[in-house]
Amino acid sequence: MESSSKLPLHLCHVHKLSIFINRTHMFFHSIALVFLLYYRASFFFIQDTTKTKATTLAWLLVFVSEIVLSFEWLLSQSFRWRPVSRTTFPERLPGDDKLPGVDVFICTADPEKEPTVGVMNTVLSAMAMDYPPEKLHVYLSDDGGAAVTLKGMREAWRFAKWWLPFCRRYGIKCRAPEAYFSAEDEDADFGGSEFIQDREDIKEKYEAFKKRVREKATVGDTGSRLSRDHPAVIEVIQETSSDDAIQENETKNMPLLVYVSREKRPSHPHNFKAGALNVLIRVSGVISNSPYILGLDCDMHCHDPSSARQAMCFHLDPKISPSLAFVQFPQKFHNISNNDIYGSQHRSVFWLQWQGFDGVGGPGVNGTGYYMKRLALCSSSIHEDGDPMKLRQSFGPSNEFIKSLHQNNKPDMLIHRKNALLNEAQLLASCSFENGTKWGEEFGFMYGSVAEDYVTGFRLHCKGWISVYCNPPRPQFLGRSYTNLDDVLVHCSRWTSGMVDVLFSKFCPLIYGPLKTHTFVQSMCYAEMALIPIFHLPLWCLATIPQLCLLNGIPLYPEVSNSYFIVFSFVFLSLISKHLYEVLSTGFTFRHWINEQRIWMMKSVISDLYGSVDGFMKKIGMREANFFLTNKVDDVDQLKRYNMGVFDFQTSILFLAPMTALVILNMASFAVGISRVIFLGELDKFFIQVFIPFYVILINYPIVEGMLIRKDRGRIPPSVTLLSAVVSLIFYFLGSIIFM
């Protein structure tokens, strides 16, 4: 029998059937697009007595929009070129004594929006991972400098002395206590009075833990007012009092737990999450200096304790390890309803795009759930010369941190050295340490955009590193996603703004990527992600121009009797049927397909518009960069409506008004179109232009319902409906002046 040392640690499965289907669809859809664009272009070269300047302008706007969207579709096919999936074999890893260390980075910023109990659940789940505890080190970055968060860390350490042995003793899989005690099937494999008694004891201790943390949260400083002005605070959390009830050997089997609050001053840029992560890189370098880093959002707990071992199946593979920068796990969520009206689980990204990304050189960094090689973040390229003088110029004047860059060097955490290292960590966390260095420009997580994960992953691939995507059957990490429309649109706007930052920087993937990344197809993936916000702006033309022209009796599409009608019909049916196939083939339903169509329209015309404007304003200096936290606190009424599959329109009027105005415009054009069909017999002439508003209304029926039918608190306010109707009317009159 072949020895386990010779067996592979992982396997890569190429999805040949998906490749065949995707490439066949690309071929036929591309041909149809060529005919469609030819039809549009031929209009400008054919002499037609009915052609007017207004008609030409409308035709041109629609033509340009179709060109841009066709190019966007072409780039998006890069994700479908070569999808792969991977299987790991953690049981084939070497013994625990040969496994490398892992530093876990968790970031939080505001205990009011990110409740301390939830953050501590993430901390506890990371501490309880199935990994040698002496090689596991958990760091929490608190950008709010909140006293309640530090106190919560101390309470989490106390509770962990009970929680970790319980998880190890019974092989508990979900090691976030809140999620574990909320689940009904986690104990299916256990029985017996001893386990039941232990579980009840731990549950009582957890309830007491939550009570203590929440008491401190009510009487302590929330820290939100200090978030931009506070000194550096670094504390290694450890035992302050003895507890005889816990066995001594169990108390020693605890990972290192470190609280880090970097210095922040209003006069110094803090570079948002990327700045916090770079501080953690430096501070951890002089404390634990593990060769691998796990990045986690504060609401993304470890749902399976084996993720570190699964990641090591790739990082310890000698065939790919020298060039492997990180292993990315998907983001999955525990608070998604069966209906998922807001598309909050990001099916297309984690079930489709990232598999395709993996097949052409590796996915980008996803912001959480990645196991990163420290060397990849602290080297100019794969082949780093390590010149000491250059290192000091690049990384700053810390001798201890320069020593940590040599992977063989381990910090000496003996008692007589501990205080010195913590003092050094204070320096590394100061807001002025990065002055004159290359942090955020060449090393660490990249600055210049709130989408630091995108830029960092792109730069790593441009330096020659590769990555892999690992999506096991059991989710390794579970977090909280959006359960209201406001969070969806705000988050998408923030992401769009970050992409505009990238698009107008030197790292624009259209000009920087093709010559740097491993494959041209991989650079197309990055380009598609960065260009989507700009590419979606022409959707405003398709959402208004055909409708205005229908209201004014101007045809923009071929008649039903025209052979090119088949081309336009094929392009539309090809797009929606391929999307439907992808939804169904990934295990979702027809209802999910409708929901994805709807939320795509909303985000494309609203969030991408505001995000693009925000990005442009930052670029020309009219607006400061900002980073809005997603609220992790549930509104009971909103959550109830979400679980019932009912849209909640309690969001900014800046989001609601244009969205509602577009629906009203489409309703008016559809009504006029039906009148033309019935009374003038123009079905053949205007079929496509009547169908477009019908499809928009059908998909966006919840907006119509929110305007005209619903009376609950989550409806669209009548004042917004009235304002939107006025805007639509003004838009119609302006359109009539232009297109008549």
- Report the catalytic residues: 143, 453
> What is the identity of the amino acid at 421?
L
DSSP state of 45: G
Q: Is 643 helix (H, G, I), strand (E, B) or coil?
A: helix
Own/partner pairs for 272-276, CB < 8 Å, 24+ apart? Answer: 272/450, 272/452, 272/625, 272/627, 273/107, 273/445, 273/450, 273/452, 273/627, 274/440, 274/444, 274/445, 274/446, 274/447, 274/452, 274/456, 275/440, 275/447, 276/107, 276/109, 276/141, 276/143
Residue 383 has what DSSP assignment? Answer: S
Q: What single DSSP character describes residue 100?
A: P
Beta-carbon contacts of 473 under 8 Å, excluding residues fewer than 6 positions away, are none
* DSSP 8-state class, residue 101: P
Is-contact 494 612, C-beta < 8 A?
no
Q: What's the one-letter identity of residue 13?
A: H
**DSSP letters spanning 557-589:** S--TTSTHHHHHHHHHHHHHHHHHHHHHHTT--
Closest to 447 (Cα-Cα) out of 326, 576, 297, 269: 269
Mode of pairing for the β-strands spanning 301-302 and 477-479? antiparallel
Distance between CA atoms of residues 307 and 314, nearest Å: 12
Triad 111, 205, 478: Cα angle to 5°: 50
| Helix (H) or strand (E) run with residue 740 in it | none
Amino acid 167 reads: C
- The total of other beta-carbon atoms located within 10 Å of residue 112's CB is 17
Considering only CA atoms, which of 145, 108, 138, 439 is closest in space to residue 271? Answer: 439
Q: What is the DSSP track for 10-38?
A: EEEEE-HHHHHHHHHHHHHHHHHHHHHHH
Cα–Cα distance, 701 to 705 (Å, whole number): 6
Would you state the structure tokens that stand for residue 528, as one six-digit string? Answer: 């598609």
Residue 63, CA atoms < 13 Å, CB-side half-sphere = 16
Give the closest residue to 27 by CA, choosing from 563, 477, 574, 467.
574
Helix (H) or strand (E) holding 69: helix 53-76
CA distance 648 to 638: 6
CB 286, CB 404: distance < 8 Å: yes
* Contacts of 160 by beta carbon, 8 Å cutoff, 6+ apart: 124, 127, 128, 254, 257
What stretches of 128-271 show up as alpha helix (H) in DSSP? 147-170, 177-182, 193-219, 248-252
